[in-house]
Amino acid sequence: MQELLIERRSVAYFSMEIGIDEKIHTYSGGLGILAGDTIRSAADLKVPMIAVTLLYRKGYFHQRLGEDGWQHEEPAPWAVEEFMQEMGPRVKVTVHDRTVHLRAWKYEVRGITGFSVPVIFLDADLPENSEWDRTLTDYLYGGDDYYRLCQELLLGVGGIRMLRQLGYTDVRSFHMNEGHAALLTMELLDEEAKSAGRERLMEEDRKAVQGKCVFTTHTIVPAGHDKFPMEMARMIIGQRDDFFNLEGVLHDGHTLNMTRLALNLSRYVNGVAKRHGEASRQLFTGYSINSITNGVHAATWISEPFRQLYDKYIPMWQKDNFSLRYALNIPKTEVWDAHMQAKRKLLDFVREQTGTVLDENVLTIGFARRAATYKRGDLLFQDLERLKGIASGAGRFQVIYAGKAHPRDQGGKELIQRIFRAKDVLAADIKIVYLEDYSMKLGAMITAGVDIWLNTPEPPMEASGTSGMKASLNGVPNLSVLDGWWIEGHIEGLTGWAIGNGLPENPQDRNHSRDAASLYDKLERTVLPLYYQDRERFIDVMRYSIAINGSFFNTHRMMQEYVLNAYFSC
């Protein structure tokens, strides 16, 4: 009886990528990390969740950077059997008139009290499948649109079928983490019709399915919204006119738009920060779109020295992240000592990886995120003379970069090259390193070990951003453009500093010189003087970062909002 109760799962969380562990290469960036953090918090808080994703035996990719900064991709396979357990049941999905067999692997994410959330990884690498179909769960974000839609069909339809096979029949909320899994609605619709003894879908099925689905949209960048032409959808999904003709399934009558499908078939929809909710409401008029601001899983991203500090002064912090507000009582010298330990660890790593020796007494700026052009990783280098002037005047600083570009993102790859060029030009004045192969491990080390976390997206493109939250939890203040979560977390001079006024740049200004100028001013007049001349006040900002932002921008708080507003409401 007890077993049965524990195994009941009311929330099924579907995500194209999930960042479980450094060694399991099933994530590419923020979306996957958020999914992993969501699951870790669900486990800590005993939320009865089960998660579903694809296996990606060949992973995303390992990044190698040439002398010239050009990115090369290498395969990133990993040993599935070392981490996961194969499960018995198999399911079949018809993909472009072929039958694709799927099996499942299970990974248990265990929370602090021992409660665990199973993560189901769907795997098409079975002898029953054709050689080509066996590769369908090999690559995350690899292949063309055809490959992608096949994957999304497996995730959505295959995922629901697998859950049913595994005995999860009383799920109340199906949470689509981004639109990739939106085809799960088709399977749920079919279940409704079937249980009513009908062959064809009807409007009442749509209402019933809508009552079961929750959708989180994560971006307003157009490339983040999957769209497939009708002919391709018909070919891969099948001649399902009853589905395609149902209200809300097709956009404009001829495009399968995964975001629209999820919007139309969910009872609760949210963006991932307040500003992103607003931007999404403008982009998708006519929908009720809420916002739940993202967070990060505190215990995952806090460095060892800070973990010990919190254990000593705030013993309940892991269970109750809100209690991090008491960080204001931790003696400043201990905050600084913990920070310096994290910084030394990072600088040691930098020396081992790059041969560059950075000075632990120099203000260190960190910037690590996907090399996507809207994140403007090179904004710092708009005016190299000005930058040199700041370093020789207001105070020295050094910069640590990391981040992968998507293999087909030419602009992102060129962005990395521009950073390399600036690095060479500035070599005599400002030390800059670019660490290869950004990953969870690197992310944790960099966000904890630098003195300032820099964030320069083009507003309003950064839906939330989460790396700055990791920095806050480690007492690292943010210096950031007012976009995404920072609009909510920013208190000038108290939790960090703003760059610019949060409005989009004048489109005529190709150099983005307004935000660059603001960045230089803040660095020169505020951040460097504070760091070098008023360390006490600088440590105040570190403590407020933890107390005000660390205590709030975590996935424990976020999960509580999903539970209250999305999963168990209605």
Rounded CA separation 68/88 (Å)? 49
In angstroms, give the least distance from the CB of 467 to ligand PLP: 3
Q: Using the rule CB under 6 A, is 476 a contact of ligand PLP?
A: no
Count the Cβ atoms, other than its own, within 10 Å of residue 17: 24
Q: Which stretch binds ligand PLP (CB under 6 A): 168-176, 213-221, 419-427, 462-470?
A: 462-470
Q: Which residues contact 205 (CB under 8 A, 6 or more apart)?
A: 189, 192, 193, 196, 246
Which lies closer to ligand PLP via its Cβ, residue 36 or residue 142? 36
Choose between 30 and 500: whose C-beta lies nearer to ligand PLP. Answer: 30
Which stretch in 111-119, 276-284, 390-398, 464-472 sits in contact with ligand PLP by CB under 6 A?
Answer: 464-472
Using CB under 6 A as the binding rule, whether residue 218 contacts ligand PLP is answered as no
- Point out which span in 258-266, 433-441, 486-494, 539-547 binds ligand PLP (CB under 6 A): 433-441
Residue 438 is a binding residue for ligand PLP (CB under 6 A): yes
Q: Does 474 bind ligand PLP (CB under 6 A)?
A: no
203: which residues sit within 8 A by CB, 6+ positions away? 246, 247
Torsion angle, alpha carbons of 174, 175, 179, 185, to 10: 10
Question: Quick one: 266 or 545, whose CB is closer to ligand PLP?
Answer: 545
For 59, the token pair is 């992973």
DSSP code, position 149: H
Q: Which of 467, 472, 474, 554 binds ligand PLP (CB under 6 A)?
A: 467
Q: What are phi and psi of 254, to 5 degrees?
A: -145, 10
Residue closer to ligand PLP by CB (options 440, 516) is 440
259 contributes a contact to ligand PLP by CB under 6 A: no
Cα gap 3→131, rounded to integer Å: 40
Q: Which is nearer to ligand PLP, 260 or 556 (CB)?
A: 556
Give the β-pairing of 227-229 and 290-291. unpaired
In terms of C-beta distances under 8 Å and separation of at least 24 residues, what long-range contacts does 389-396 make, across chains too?
390/520, 390/523, 390/524, 390/528, 391/429, 391/430, 392/429, 393/524, 394/523, 394/524, 394/525, 394/528, 394/529, 395/363, 395/528, 395/529, 395/531, 395/532, 396/359, 396/362, 396/363, 396/430
Residue 270 C-beta: closest distance to ligand PLP, Å: 17
Pick 161 or 470: Cβ nearer ligand PLP: 470
For ligand PLP, which is the closer residue by CB, 31 or 124? Answer: 31
Query: Between 136 and 461, whose beta carbon lies closer to ligand PLP?
Result: 461
Is the Cβ of residue 17 or residue 138 nearer to ligand PLP in the bound state?
A: 17
User: Strand order of the sheet with strand 397-402?
Assistant: 432-435, 397-402, 363-368, 452-455, 478-481, 496-499
Q: With CB under 6 A as the rule, give the number of residues binding ligand PLP.
A: 13
DSSP state for residue 405 in the 8-state scheme: P
Binding mask 370-399 for ligand PLP (x = CB under 6 A): x-----------------------------
**Cβ proximity of 481 and 453 under 8 Å:** no
**Minimum distance from CB of 466 to ligand PLP (Å)?**
4
Which of 14, 17, 29, 177 lies at the binding interface for ligand PLP (CB under 6 A)?
29
Q: Whole-number minimum distance, CB 370 to ligand PLP, in Å? A: 6
Q: Is 440 in the site for ligand PLP (CB under 6 A)?
A: yes
CA distance 148 to 180: 9
Nearer to ligand PLP, 382 or 472 (CB): 472
Q: Give the separation between CA 356 and CA 337, rounded to whole angstroms.
A: 23
> How near is the Cβ of 131 to ligand PLP at its closest, in Å?
32
One of 9, 12, 17, 30 touching ligand PLP (CB under 6 A): 30
Among the listed ranges 7-15, 168-176, 409-417, 439-447, the one in contact with ligand PLP (CB under 6 A) is: 439-447
Judged by CB under 6 A, the stretch of 26-34, 202-210, 243-251, 493-501 that binds ligand PLP is 26-34
CA–CA distance, 121 with 56 (Å, rounded to integer): 9
CB of 483 to ligand PLP, least distance (A): 11
DSSP state letters, 430-442: S-EEEESS--HHH
Task: State whether residue 94 is helix, strand or coil.
Answer: strand
- Out of 161, 218, 276, 369, which residue is the one contacting ligand PLP (CB under 6 A)? 369
Residue 59 near residue 25 (C-beta atoms within 8 A):
yes
- Give whichever of 154 and 440 is closer to ligand PLP, judged by the CB atom: 440
Closest CB to ligand PLP among residues 159, 484: 484
Q: Which of 211, 189, 155, 223 is nearest to 13 (CA)?
A: 155
Q: Judged by CB under 6 A, which of 266, 293, 303, 466 binds ligand PLP?
A: 466
Distance separating alpha carbons of residues 246 and 204, to the nearest angstrom: 10
* Residue 443 near ligand PLP by CB under 6 A: yes
**Residue 330 beta carbon to ligand PLP: minimum distance, rounded to whole angstroms:** 24
Q: Do the bridges between strand 478-481 and strand 397-402 make them parallel or antiparallel, or are there none, so unpaired?
A: unpaired
| Binding of residue 412 to ligand PLP (CB under 6 A) | no
Nearest approach in angstroms of CB 30 to ligand PLP is 3
Q: Is 490 in the site for ligand PLP (CB under 6 A)?
A: no
Q: Does 33 bind ligand PLP (CB under 6 A)?
A: yes
Residues whose CB is less than 8 angstroms from the CB of residue 356 and which lie 6 or more positions away in sequence, other chains included: 350, 431, 433
Contact, 500 vs 515, CB < 8 A? yes
Nearer to ligand PLP, 109 or 153 (CB): 109
Gap between the terminal Cα atoms of the chain = 28
Nearest to ligand PLP by Cβ — which residue? Answer: 443
Structure tokens at 535: 């360390």
Instruction: Give whichever of 438 and 497 is closer to ligand PLP, judged by the CB atom.
Output: 438
3-state secondary structure 272-328: CCHHHHHHHHHHCCCCCCEECCCCECHHHHCCHHHHHHHHHHCCCCCCCHHHHHHHH
Choosing from 280, 321, 364, 439, the residue that interacts with ligand PLP (CB under 6 A) is: 439
Contacting positions for ligand PLP (CB under 6 A): 29-30, 33, 369-370, 438-440, 443, 465-467, 470
